[in-house]
Amino acid sequence: MYKVAIIGVGQTRFGEFADKGVKELFVEAFLEAINDVDKGIDPKEIEEAYIGNLGVGGIQLGNFSSMAVDQIGLHGIPATRVENACASSGFAFRSAVMAIMSGVCDVVLAGGVEKMTDIPRDKLRYWLGVSGDTEWERLAGMTFPGVYALMALRHMHQYGTKREHLAMVAVKNHKNGAQNPKAHFQRETTLERALNSPMVAYPLTIFDCCPVSDGASVAILCRADLAKKYTDTPIYVAGFGAGTDRLSLFEREDFTTLMSSVLAAKQAYKMAGIKPKDVDVAEVHDCFTIAEIIAYEDLGFCKKGEGAKLIEEGETEIGGRIPVNPSGGLKAKGHPIGATGTGQIYEIVKQLRDEAEKRSRQVSGAEIGLTHNVGGSGGTAVVHILRRG
């Protein structure tokens, strides 16, 4: 099997852009990724594309990938839309990696795009609920924040985690986002503000939830032995893993872990031949603050039940033992569903190349980075481990 390298990455700012549609966003991320290949690449060298997307205008759109490659002038190549809820482009990236590993392709595009803010509010309410269990959870009046709230309350009950710990995740990620010119929220917040903002689903407040964002992200991958032709600073895919779990939270035995994440991480560490302690920087799926605390445990950054302690001791801040979400994470950087996974890849590639726009946001000397992208309430998860050459 061939080894795989990332030679270029691009990402729009995540946020609310009234003047940009799904096409403009995707083209912007694509052009940045092409220009990011420092020795240059002819876009026609791209042989295949995998693109993450949940829907357009609150509904699914047939042949989405054909539209996307048409917009970037690559009509003709095989293209596939990948949908795994919020993990769509994480799985698109995985498909691109496998296409190269297998020897079918030499150069492949992986990306994602989502336009969420031009959907009328009531339609958005409907649409946001489609990535979990509809038949039972949603028809009991449950929402996505509600499902994570159920996990949070169990984590508090079993391990003594407090609302303050959840708020600490929000404060840290807003602090990082404030230094990221591509983040949706570029402002800091305080523990008091996070704790005292309106409840969305007890015990989660609005500050425990990620925003609804527009955005796109693209990565260009190639066979590792060809990478130096395109760039002096390739970033290598050292390992990956993926998994699934029971779709409905209520059918799971333990609410304080995502089995899909645990399975994905185990495979990725094994393939990369590393241990969790070897990871220098991670972008994890903090769709809600409790999800970041659970991710610390599921990814092995601390023992089960000690996620709250890890955030409290500042170990996941930039400068800490294992900096998590230097981009601001989904919480502050934003969460344009289909673009989030390759957006995490974008951040880790920048970190490993020592190219964070502001030095205060750069994790110094990072050599190994991890991305963790979760679909829905843990129905799917995918982990990638990237390494500097």
Partner 1 sequence: MAYVSIPAYWKTIPQRYSLIGLRCKNCGYINFPAREICAKCGKKSEFEPIKLSGKGKIYSYTIIAAGSTPPEFLLQEKYVGSYPVAIIELVEGPKIVAQLTDYKIEELKIGMEVEAVFRKIYEDNQVIRYGIKFRPIRKRRIHKGS
Contacts to partner 1 by CB under 8 A: 122, 125-126, 129-130, 133-143, 145-146, 149-151, 153-154, 157, 198-204, 246, 248-251, 255
Closest CB to partner 1 among 95 and 143? 143
* 25, 216 contact by CB (below 8 A): yes
**Distance (Å, rounded) from C-alpha 67 to C-alpha 361?**
36
The active-site residue, picked from 165, 174, 285, 335, is 335
Shortest separation between residue 200's beta carbon and partner 1, angstroms: 5
Dihedral of the alpha carbons of 49, 366, 368, 4, in degrees to the nearest 10: 30
Q: Which is nearer to partner 1, 2 or 159 (CB)?
A: 159
Coarse DSSP helix, strand, coil percentages of the chain, rounded to the nearest 5 percent? 40, 20, 40
Of 78, 225, 223, 199, which is closest to residue 146 (Cα–Cα)? Answer: 199
CB of 333 to partner 1, least distance (A): 22
Residue 56, strand partner residues: 59, 115
* Dist. CA 384–CA 341, nearest whole Å: 10
Query: What CA–CA distance (Å, rounded) separates 181 from 34?
Result: 20
Q: CB 301 → partner 1: shortest distance, Å?
A: 24
Cβ distance to partner 1 smaller for residue 152 or 220? 152
**What is the SS3 assignment for 335?**
coil
On the CB side of 70, how many CA atoms lie within 13 Å of its CA? 7
Question: Which one from 86, 105, 222, 302 is the annotated catalytic residue?
Answer: 86
DSSP codes of every residue in 8-37: EEEEPPPB--TT--HHHHHHHHHHHHHHHS
Q: Which of these, 174, 175, 185, 170, lies nearest to 13 by C-alpha position?
A: 185
Contacts of 199 (CB under 8 A, 6+ apart): 205
Whether the Cβ atoms of residue 213 and residue 345 lie closer than 8 Å to each other: no
42/135 with CB nearer partner 1: 135
Q: Which is nearer to partner 1, 133 or 297 (CB)?
A: 133
Number of helices (H), then strands (E), in the chain? 12, 11
Given the complex with partner 1, which of 246 and 321 has the nearer CB atom? Answer: 246
Residue 335 annotated as catalytic:
yes
Give the shortest CB-272-to-partner 1 separation in angstroms.
30
210 is catalytic: no
| Closest distance to partner 1 from the beta carbon of 131 (Å) | 10
Nearer to partner 1, 3 or 138 (CB): 138
Nearest distance, CB of residue 323 and partner 1, angstroms: 31
Strand positions, DSSP E, the chain: 4-11, 48-52, 79-82, 107-114, 199-201, 204-205, 215-223, 235-244, 281-283, 368-375, 380-388
Nearest to residue 331, comparing CAs of 225, 205, 224, 239?
205
CA-CA-CA-CA torsion sign (120, 122, 127, 131): positive
> CB 287 → partner 1: shortest distance, Å?
15
Residues serving a catalytic function are: 86, 335
